[in-house]
Chain A
Amino acid sequence: MSLLAVEGLGISFGELHAVRNVGFSMKPGEIVSVIGPNGAGKTTLFNMISGIYLPKSGTVHLGGEDVTGMSPHLLARRGLSRTFQNLQIFQAMTVLENVMVGYHLHERGPVIADLLGLSSSRRRSHEAEEKARMLLERVGLVRAAEKEAGSLSYGALKRLEIARALALKPKVLLLDEPAAGCNAVETEEIDHLIAELAADGIAILLVEHDMKMVMRISNHIVVLDFGEKIAEGDPATVSRNPRVIQAYLGTQAAEVTYAVG
């Protein structure tokens, strides 16, 4: 059975049909990429799946449950987590604290215990800190743990967001352009990280412009153009599809063919 199933999803802003009738499904451990030109509706699709926009039509099922239009914090409890194209970092908090907020669902407890600084509250914080440090280790940021997040480089912030999203132990992870603005080395690191996460059984939905990366790591690709799905399939099939080449790949076709082999 599919872990995440999107069916006939659509939304319009005024006259503009930003996304129309888009559907796909994903299984645990699968990497599905959504590609398409700028303005094709990729981020809008993400925002509908993650509960930020209320879709006008269609459904989203997570683990068999209808979660269409459900609030993000409720989706988080059901194991759906995401990162943002335009970084949503808690800038004034430390790197460590950013990830600890990611553990909110595990570390939260009675407010009165937090106010009184009871040992139960301190223990919850302590456990979250230990786990957060381990995650920072995993994304290579452990040495920056005590720094203010705002002082980090763009690439480091991208990894910090992934660490924070991982903290809630998601079953489904939505990554919106994780490699944008990263140099070649950083891109490769993120590439490895995504493959590792998928190997752990997390279903990963990816929006990314780096076609080499997309073609290399995706199991399945959904192509959007003007808010509609124009093709889907495995990387080799999609990269040979004439509509896809015309709409999007165009000049990149040569290097994609090279990447797919």
Chain B
Amino acid sequence: MRLSKQATLLVLAALIVVAPIFFPSGYYFRVGSLLFVNSLAVVGVVILTGYAGQISLGHAGFAAIGAYACALAPVHLHVHPSIAAIIGAVLSAVVAYLVGRPILRLKGYYLAVASLGFGILVSMVLANEIAITGGPDGIKVPELGLRAVLADWGLELTNAQFWYAFSGLVLLVGSWLALNLYNSPTGRALRGLHESEIAARTVGVDVAQAKLVAFMISAVYASVSGSLLALQNRLITPDIAGYMHSIEIVTMAVLGGVGSVLGAIFGASILTLLPQLLTVFQEYEQVMLGLVMMLAMIFMPRGLLPSIVGLVRGRGE
């Protein structure tokens, strides 16, 4: 039923390497790297929602922290953009701790509500603190500089090619970490509390702390995904913190199958590529997108990938 860790990583790596053969133009490297950036945030949701069963509707807030760290830290702290991304990740983990700690002791969907509020707060701050963030017009992000280093070594890549390869690599690392976690003591504790909090508690799992750890890890994923987006776009606007972006991240994970890394990445692919395909419907594009998602969730409630695998195996689940 489940692919092993090695098989999952192999499939993913093969897809990343082979896909460019079929690209009709350089533009698709750009689409591909966007897909990987989205997928990275979605893999974080797999840990939080798929493993631990908690829902966050504010992950765009963490993506924004990662993105704006890359814009602001090089200017104000005079650090390299890569260090800025790490600062963003640490900051996201700290903020996740502060937001999550009081909330995750409570049962129910408090985290969803609190994180939604957190995301909106971040986007308001970004839009209004014009002196620091540049406001709604956004702010410039410095060049990462890695492409020039590679060129010195004789590896000449276009900007789009570089970001395709780099984001793909980061996604592979992120998937590897998430897959390690799945079959580890921490992963088992998270999956256990997902199914029965009471049973997890009676065998000694500190449920509040375990949820907090999952929330912090997934916040770091979102933060790194935001950093990657900022560094490749070279410009970042408060839109990244918008709550539609948060919902999008969760929808991608749930659509593909939130229980598995590969399923979630599949969902991210569909939702990144579908709008490109649906442009033929012009003004009805959004309607078609909504329709496809509704039908998918009605007929394949466990997510696309698990349902398709089930159908192929003739179990018809």
Looking at A82, A90, A98, A109, the one whose CB has the most chain B CB atoms below 10 A away is A90
Q: What's the dominant secondary structure at chain B's contact region?
A: helix
Q: Could you tell me if A104 and B184 are in contact, using CB atoms closer than 8 angstroms?
A: no
Question: A102 → chain B, closest Cβ, in Å?
Answer: 5
Whole-angstrom CA separation of A91 from B191 in the bound complex: 10
Q: Could you tell me if B180 and A100 are in contact, using CB atoms closer than 8 angstroms?
A: no
Chain A residues 79 to 107 lying within 8 A of chain B, measured CB to CB, are 81-82, 84, 88-93, 97-98, 100-102, 104-105, 107
Other A-B contacts than A121-B180, A164-B203, 11 sampled, CB-CB below 8 A, are A73-B201, A73-B202, A75-B202, A82-B202, A84-B199, A90-B191, A92-B259, A104-B205, A114-B184, A125-B184, A168-B204
Q: Which of A76, A88, A108 contacts B196, CB < 8 Å?
A: A88
Whole-angstrom CA separation of A164 from B195 in the bound complex: 15
- Tell me if A59 counts as interface (CB < 8 A to partner B): no
Q: Could you tell me if A124 and B202 are in contact, using CB atoms closer than 8 angstroms?
A: no
- Tell me if B108 counts as interface (CB < 8 A to partner A): no
Question: B266 → chain A, closest Cβ, in Å?
Answer: 19
- Tell me if B206 counts as interface (CB < 8 A to partner A): yes
Give chain B residues whose Cβ lies under 8 Å from the Cβ of A167.
203
Give chain B residues whose Cβ lies under 8 Å from the Cβ of A93.
188, 191-192, 195
Whole-angstrom CA separation of A31 from B184 in the bound complex: 36
- Tell me if B183 counts as interface (CB < 8 A to partner A): yes
Can you list 11 A-B pairs with a CB-CB distance of less than 8 A? A73-B201, A92-B195, A93-B188, A101-B192, A104-B192, A104-B204, A111-B213, A115-B217, A121-B184, A121-B185, A164-B203
Total A-B residue pairs with C-beta atoms closer than 8 Å?
Answer: 104
Question: B273 → chain A, closest Cβ, in Å?
Answer: 30
Give chain A residues whose Cβ lies under 8 Å from the Cβ of B297.
none
Chain B residues 246 to 279 lying within 8 A of chain A, measured CB to CB, are 259
Q: Which of B184, B189, B195, B259 contacts A91, CB < 8 Å?
A: B195
Supposing A90-B191, A124-B185 touch, asked if A104 and B203 sit within 8 A by C-beta, the answer is: yes
- Tell me if A165 counts as interface (CB < 8 A to partner B): yes
> B: which residues have CB within 8 A of A?
176-177, 180-181, 183-189, 191-192, 195-196, 198-207, 213, 217, 259
Supposing A93-B192, A114-B180 touch, asked if A107 and B185 sit within 8 A by C-beta, the answer is: yes
Q: Could you tell me if B180 and A81 are in contact, using CB atoms closer than 8 angstroms?
A: no
- Tell me if A245 counts as interface (CB < 8 A to partner B): no
- Tell me if A50 counts as interface (CB < 8 A to partner B): yes
Chain A residues 160 to 174 lying within 8 A of chain B, measured CB to CB, are 164-165, 167-168
Question: B207 → chain A, closest Cβ, in Å?
Answer: 7
- Tell me if A138 counts as interface (CB < 8 A to partner B): no
Whole-angstrom CA separation of A134 from B310 in the bound complex: 33
Whole-angstrom CA separation of A81 from B198 in the bound complex: 12
Supposing A90-B195, A116-B180 touch, asked if A128 and B185 sit within 8 A by C-beta, the answer is: yes
Give chain B residues whose Cβ lies under 8 Å from the Cβ of A64.
none
Question: B108 → chain A, closest Cβ, in Å?
Answer: 17
- Tell me if A240 counts as interface (CB < 8 A to partner B): no
Q: Could you tell me if A73 and B217 are in contact, using CB atoms closer than 8 angstroms?
A: no
Q: Could you tell me if B188 and A115 are in contact, using CB atoms closer than 8 angstroms?
A: no
Give chain B residues whose Cβ lies under 8 Å from the Cβ of A168.
203-204
- Tell me if A247 counts as interface (CB < 8 A to partner B): no
Q: Could you tell me if A81 and B203 are in contact, using CB atoms closer than 8 angstroms?
A: yes
- Tell me if A72 counts as interface (CB < 8 A to partner B): yes
Give chain A residues whose Cβ lies under 8 Å from the Cβ of B192.
90, 93, 98, 101, 104
Q: Could you tell me if A108 and B199 are in contact, using CB atoms closer than 8 angstroms?
A: no
Q: Could you tell me if B199 and A90 are in contact, using CB atoms closer than 8 angstroms?
A: yes
Question: A9 → chain B, closest Cβ, in Å?
Answer: 18
The 5 closest A-B pairs by CB, nearest first: A76-B204, A114-B184, A117-B180, A88-B199, A72-B201
Give chain A residues whose Cβ lies under 8 Å from the Cβ of B185.
104, 107-109, 114, 121, 124-125, 128
Q: Could you tell me if A165 and B203 are in contact, using CB atoms closer than 8 angstroms?
A: yes
Looking at B181, B202, B205, the one whose CB has the most chain A CB atoms below 10 A away is B202
- Tell me if A52 counts as interface (CB < 8 A to partner B): yes
Q: Could you tell me if B203 and A125 are in contact, using CB atoms closer than 8 angstroms?
A: no
Chain A residues 162 to 203 lying within 8 A of chain B, measured CB to CB, are 164-165, 167-168
